[in-house]
Amino acid sequence: MVEAYRESLPDSYLLVLRDMTESGPEVSLARALHLAAHSGKPAVWVDCSLLERPSAEAVELLLSYHEALRQAGIVLPLAHVEEHVRQQLLPSDGTDAKLPIVPTLLDAAARPYLFKNAA
């Protein structure tokens, strides 16, 4: 299960994800993504520096919110994603990952236009 720390910033909404020891439904992540989607911010940044093993449900939530937010003109870049986590973020159907991944939150802030048309 993934826990999500939330912070509303002046020009974006920040989610910091970390693994929890318990397993179960991704209620915290779903709620955090819902609040971020309705925050009125043009960007939702996701910091994955504390994330080791996202569940399949967490990955599915991130993918579905990315698509919904993209259609609403809101960007959802992921930052600080370790390579082993990046591999887990790949869709199970073998297609390319649709989640925009940047090295750092500074990169997400400096170049939000890169994600506007990311599919």
Domain boundaries, the chain: 2-115
Fold adopted by 2-115: Transcription Regulator spoIIAA (3.30.750)
What's the rounded Cα separation, in Å, for the pair 70 and 119? Answer: 8
Q: Across the strands, what pairs with 47?
A: 16, 79
Model pTM score:
0.84
**pLDDT by residue (tens digit) across 42-60?**
999 999 999 988 888 888 8
Q: Is the pLDDT of residue 119 over 50?
A: no
Q: Is the pLDDT of residue 34 over 80?
A: yes
pLDDT at 86: 85
